C-alpha cells in the first residue's frame, strides 16, 4: 500500500520540477539601443528619428503576453517567463564613459581613416586597418594605436551592456546586433566586411 502511495507523490514532485525559465533576447530593443549608441559615436545623431512609444501604447503586446496560455499549466508544468522589462539600457556610467571615449576618438583619429578607405568595420563589430597605403606614413602609428584602443572599448562595451542588463550570456548577441548597426550607420563610401570580403557602402 505504501508503495502505491509513493507513486503519486513522486509524480507530483516530478511535475512541479518541470518548470522552464524562458528568458528571451529582446532583439528589437537591442537594435534600437545599438542604433542610439552608434549614431552618437559617429556623430549622426541629427539623422536619428527617435520613436517614442505613446503613453498607454503597446497595449496589444501587453494583452498578448498577459493572455499567453500554456496548456501544460493544466497538469502543473508551467513555463516561467522572465517578467523583467525588455528594454536594453545603455545609460549606466560605465557604458556612457566608454561611449564618450569612442566618440572623441572617432572624431580625432578614426573618421579620416574611414573617409579615405583606410579603415573598415569588421563582421564581428570591430575596426580594422583595411588599406594602410591610404594612410600617410606619419599617421600610421597613431591610427593603429587608435584602432587598438577602440577595439578594446568595443569589446568592453558589448560585455558591459550584457552585464548591465542582467544577462552576461547575451554578450555575443549584443555584439552581433552592434556589428550590423555599425554597417547600417556607416556613411556612403565607407568600407565593411561581409562574407569574408571587404565591400564599400
Is 192 a domain residue? yes
Whether residue 59 is predicted with pLDDT greater than 90 in this model: the reply is no
Q: What pLDDT is stored for residue 74 in this prediction? A: 52
Nearest to 160 by CA among 149, 152, 168: 168
HSE-up of 183 (CA within 13 Å, CB side)? 19
170: domain range?
Answer: 2-46+56-200
Whether residue 2 is predicted with pLDDT greater than 90 in this model: the reply is no
Is 135 a domain residue? yes
Alpha carbon distance 175, 180 (integer Å): 9
Q: pLDDT digits over 75-101, tens only?
A: 454 444 444 446 899 999 999 999 999
Is 115 a domain residue? yes
Nearest to 146 by CA among 112, 180, 174: 112
What average pLDDT does the structure give for the chain?
A: 80
Is 104 a domain residue? yes
Q: How many domains does the chain have?
A: 1
Q: Return the higher-pLDDT residue of 97 and 64.
A: 97
Task: Give the mean model confidence (pLDDT) for residues 123-150.
Answer: 97
Is 51 a domain residue? no
Q: pLDDT digits over 4-34, tens only?
A: 545 555 555 444 444 444 569 999 999 999 9
Pairing mode, strands 79-81 and 191-194: unpaired
Alpha carbon distance 146, 15 (integer Å): 56
Question: Quick count: other Cβ atoms within 10 Å of Cβ 113?
Answer: 25
Alpha helices in 1-87 (DSSP H): 2-17, 27-41, 59-66
Q: pLDDT digits over 140-174, tens only?
A: 999 999 999 999 999 999 999 999 999 999 999 99
Is 21 a domain residue? yes
Amino acid at each position: 500500500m505504501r508503495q502505491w502511495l509513493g507513486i503519486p507523490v513522486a509524480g507530483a514532485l516530478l511535475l512541479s520540477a518541470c518548470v522552464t525559465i524562458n528568458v528571451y533576447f529582446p532583439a528589437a530593443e537591442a537594435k534600437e539601443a545599438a542604433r542610439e549608441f552608434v549614431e552618437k559615436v559617429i556623430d549622426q545623431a541629427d539623422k536619428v528619428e527617435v520613436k517614442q512609444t505613446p503613453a498607454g501604447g503597446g497595449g496589444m503586446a501587453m494583452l498578448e503576453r498577459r493572455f499567453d496560455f500554456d496548456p501544460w499549466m493544466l497538469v502543473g508544468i508551467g513555463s516561467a517567463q522572465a517578467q523583467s522589462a525588455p528594454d536594453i539600457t545603455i545609460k549606466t556610467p560605465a557604458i556612457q564613459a566608454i561611449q564618450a571615449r569612442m566618440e572623441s576618438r572617432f572624431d580625432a583619429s578614426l573618421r579620416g581613416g574611414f573617409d579615405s578607405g583606410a579603415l573598415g568595420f569588421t563582421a564581428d563589430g570591430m575596426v580594422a586597418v583595411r588599406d594602410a597605403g591610404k594612410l600617410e606614413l606619419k599617421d600610421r602609428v597613431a591610427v593603429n594605436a587608435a584602432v587598438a584602443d577602440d577595439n578594446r572599448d568595443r569589446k568592453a562595451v558589448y560585455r558591459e551592456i550584457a552585464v548591465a542588463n542582467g544577462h552576461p550570456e547575451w554578450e555575443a548577441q549584443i555584439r552581433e546586433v552592434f556589428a550590423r548597426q555599425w554597417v547600417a550607420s556607416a556613411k556612403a563610401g565607407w568600407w565593411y566586411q561581409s562574407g569574408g570580403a571587404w565591400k564599400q557602402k
